[in-house]
Amino acid sequence: MNISNISDQLYTTAPDKTGRLPKEMAVYSLLDELSIPYERVDHAVTETMEACENIDMLLDVSMCKNLFLRNRQKTAFYLLMMPGKKKFKTKDVSKQLGTSRLSFAEAEYMEQYLNITPGSVSVLGLMNDSNHAVHLVIDKELLDNEYIGCHPCINTSSLKIRTEDILNIFLKHTGHTWTTVD
């Protein structure tokens, strides 16, 4: 992805709703309601961590890799947040969680539980999981970062948010707890 596909403008407010999906605008509304500050940049669709490298530089944050996973029986669902450059090792994470081998959850479950489509998975999607069907799992390395980079439930914008605001305000509001893995 070329830097020309990214706006060089950083914003600290929600965009005008024209041309924006309601689920994206709901994220900004909730962040504002919770008084969680953020920086935002708009860009072309990003579907890979490699495509986020220029966004990382502009926001001065490393975008999180967010994986939506499920157990073999499709009865337990997990949102794994980890550093973007870190390799996901299914066997290791499954063992730490004490569950059957994890695999990627199908798009229908992303939409059902988080109102998110593939490529847009984000911790912010937990605002749509009112039944707490999704277990949040955070790689311990992320907890050392001052900021988290994530999408506002759509992969045409990216946000930089203080890690402590996600953990102590956002997750408290949604009622989600998390498990730490390495």
Give the pLDDT confidence of 124-149 residue by residue, as tens digits: 999 999 999 999 999 999 999 999 99
**pLDDT computed for residue 56 by the predictor:** 84
How far is C-alpha 65 from the geometric centre of its chain's CA atoms? Answer: 7
Q: What would the pLDDT profile of 1-55 be if each residue is shown by its tens digit?
A: 344 466 678 999 999 999 999 999 999 999 999 999 999 999 888 766 676 777 8
**pLDDT computed for residue 174 by the predictor:** 98
Neighbours of 21 (CB within 10 A): 15
**pLDDT computed for residue 2 by the predictor:** 40
**pLDDT computed for residue 32 by the predictor:** 98
The fraction of the chain above a pLDDT of 70, given in percent, is 94
- Which domains can be identified in the chain, with CATH numbers? 3-181 (3.90.960.10)
**pLDDT computed for residue 3 by the predictor:** 40
Q: What would the pLDDT profile of 77-101 be if each residue is shown by its tens digit?
A: 999 999 988 999 999 999 999 998 8
